[in-house]
Structure 1
């Protein structure tokens, strides 16, 4: 996958200590990863780089909202998303990103691209079930919700209870046998 240049951080000219970078993420960032769950995105990302003589420690802190479809009604709404993620970049013989919290880059590297860590931390911060706030508090009016209410198992139980009252009297004596045990 092609790297986005804006998320490549050149660390070779930075002094030892903490350095801060700020980014604004939108839908285009997620389209780069071919992730189409978000209709729109407005996320503020704060990257804190703590440079030491042997390693680089990154802390990603993000907050904002993404426009997604509700899992129940398919209505669009803005889902708040926030979180943080820490990972370490060390120097080694060759590039290795097998460990999710540790990135090893070759000696002599002068920059590191953090776009994959940003993408994964935001997508994993999303709730597993996306439910419109109007569904939770009962204020959303939707044809889909009305149909779900109509077809709910509770309605089926009420219909079967009505049928039980209107049974054929010839079967009543057999029902007594079941309760005599």
Structure 2
């Protein structure tokens, strides 16, 4: 049996106007979904489906911790997530996905919510995910610092190593100085 089979919801055979499901999301779930950002974690997803006038209103509540790579050192870091999302599903002639509205064909009224849950989790992960100061991988930060030149003067007034262009006496393009200011602010 496929790990994601338990995430299939059969709308045609729903016996009541309201149905509730609980899903425990673990590493096996994230591996089976094969997403690119979140590869592991532990979370709970509660799903409540309410039928109303031919439409099914799905309300997802997802809470837990997922592991994503740090943008700076590439080590895994924990990100706490909590999401409350809604999706409306209707039955129609052919499949359509229009943001918060999905139309499923009448003959195939089974919806696998695994990918939908994964997408809601990814939407909760911040655009930039970086460890707290001092928690990044020390070896990676040293390697990064060895290849990163941010300014020609250290805070204590001593000179840093110069870039290859500065050492050769070539003038440095002034646009690089503006980019270095951005690096100095991070």
Same fold, TM-score > 0.5, yes or no: yes
Closer, same or farther: CA 129–142 of 1 in aligned 2, 3 Å: same
Distance 1:32 1:139, change over 3 A: closer
Question: 1:158 corresponds to which residue?
Answer: 154
Contact 1:25/1:44, CA 8 A, preserved across alignment: yes
Give the structure 2 partner of residue 116 of structure 1: 115
Structure 1 outlier segments of 4+, above 4 Å? 146-152
SS in 2 for 1:64: strand
Report SS of the residue matched to 1:29: helix
Question: Cα offset for 1:120?
Answer: 1.2
Q: Which has the larger radius of gyration?
A: 1
Change (3 A) 1:3 1:74: closer
The 3-state SS of whatever aligns with 1:42 is: strand
Other structure's SS at 2:90 match: strand
- Count of aligned pairs between the two proteins: 155
1:128 is aligned to 127
TM normalised by structure 2 equals 0.69
Superposed CA RMSD in Å reads: 2.8
2:141 to 145, 155, 172: 145
Alignment of 1:63-142 (within 5 A): 63-97=63-97, 99-107=98-106, 109-133=108-132, 135=133, 138=134, 142=138
Unaligned 5+ residue runs, structure 1? Answer: 164-181
Q: Mind listing any 5+ residue stretches in structure 2 that lack a counterpart?
A: 160-186
